[in-house]
Structure 1
Amino acid sequence: MEIDRFKHQHVEILQGIANLRKFAHAGIKENAYEIVHQLGALTSVVSLHLAIEDRILYPTLQKGGDQRLADMSRSYQEEMQGIANAYIVFARKWGKVAAVAEKAEQFRQEANTVLKTLHTRMQKENTEFYPAIEAS
């Protein structure tokens, strides 16, 4: 199965997280506009990535002949549902400049939790899931 598109989206997602970190470290209140802009861009890529995984990647692997990949795919899909829901709630909550600027510390805390979880998941897919797919 060709997964280059998924891998490229991971690069975009990880870069988006890095950009958000950069602006947050430089000052959340001072960079609220840039943070919201970056969060919107990241959300676009994450949403597209999730949709393609759910419609193409997971079903294809689950219907394929490799039971190990089918089981792994189901597990990854189930785990991603919670991560995706948490990310969507986060992105909606912090989609306005005023909200980020007014509650900078709360934004920082929630961003640290949600984005760390997303980052960890991307790395897990890059080091475990995608190599398993490519090896099949």
Structure 2
Amino acid sequence: MLRADRLILEHLELAAIAADLVRHAEARPIEAAAIATTRWSLSRHLLAHLATEDRLLYPMLRRSPDAATAALAARFAAELGGLADAFKDYIRHWTPERMARDPDGFERDTRALSAQLDERIRREEAELYRHIPDTHPAAKVDVAARRA
């Protein structure tokens, strides 16, 4: 059974990896090897998390007898590709050579990607996860508090 607390733990891990990536993006000079390792970790965890939501969470919630829950799940599922595509574009665009030539641009885009991920996490936990059957309201965790 899919549980909100498991998804929230995945969010905690994603937020921590994204914060590490931002720290690497702030460093001068850019350390491409450290960034590559962190991006690989973020990619692995993010794509696995998104796949879980796509294969398990959204179909389960779309079958809800509550029309509002089903519609919410459909809306979130439709938005799923946006985050995955943004991340893939970021990876393709920011090669080690490009990072070295434009460290400020890399930092800016890394911060933007991290903010997009944080917002997605916040919205999922605030709006979506409470509809998972057997989810206790206390299972929600504030993303901003985690990143502080």
TM-score by structure 2 length?
0.79
Counterpart of 2:110 in structure 1 is 111
User: What displacement does 1:15 show?
Assistant: 0.5
Could you tell me the percent identity over the aligned residues? 28
Counterpart of 2:144 in structure 1 is none
User: What displacement does 1:39 show?
Assistant: 1.0
Q: What amino acid is aligned across from residue 43 of structure 1 in structure 2?
A: S
Residues of 2 paired with 1:9 and 1:123: CA distance? 13
Residues of 2 paired with 1:74 and 1:135: CA distance? 22
What whole-Å deviation, never above 9, does each CA across 1:14-60 have from its counterpart, x for those lacking one?
A: 00111112222233x34232122111100110110111111111011
Return closer, same or farther for 1:48/1:9 CA change in 2, 3 Å cut-off. Answer: same
Please give the root-mean-square deviation of Cα atoms over the aligned residues, in Å. Answer: 2.0
Gaps in structure 2 of 5+ consecutive residues = 138-148
Of structures 1 and 2, the one with the larger relative CO (CA 8 A, separation 6+) is 2
Residues of 2 paired with 1:85 and 1:59: CA distance? 21
User: What displacement does 1:135 show?
Assistant: 5.9
Counterpart of 1:13 in structure 2 is 14
Counterpart of 1:26 in structure 2 is 27
Residue 121 in 1 paired to residue 120 in 2?
yes
Q: Indicate the structure with greater helix content.
A: 1
Q: What amino acid is aligned across from residue 66 of structure 1 in structure 2?
A: D
Residue 131 in 1 paired to residue 126 in 2?
no
Counterpart of 2:84 in structure 1 is 84
Gaps in structure 1 of 5+ consecutive residues = none
What whole-Å deviation, never above 9, does each CA across 1:75-113 have from its counterpart, x for those lacking one?
A: 11112221221111112333x433322331221222222
CA contact (8 A) 2:14 2:42 kept: yes
Q: What amino acid is aligned across from residue 48 of structure 1 in structure 2?
A: A
TM-score by structure 1 length?
0.85
CA contact (8 A) 2:25 2:106 kept: no
Q: What amino acid is aligned across from residue 109 of structure 1 in structure 2?
A: R
Residues paired across the two proteins, number? 134
Residues of 2 paired with 1:56 and 1:47: CA distance? 14
Q: What amino acid is aligned across from residue 106 of structure 1 in structure 2?
A: G
CA contact (8 A) 2:64 2:70 kept: yes
Segment drifting more, 38-47 vs 120-129: 120-129
3-state SS, counterpart of residue 65 of structure 2: coil
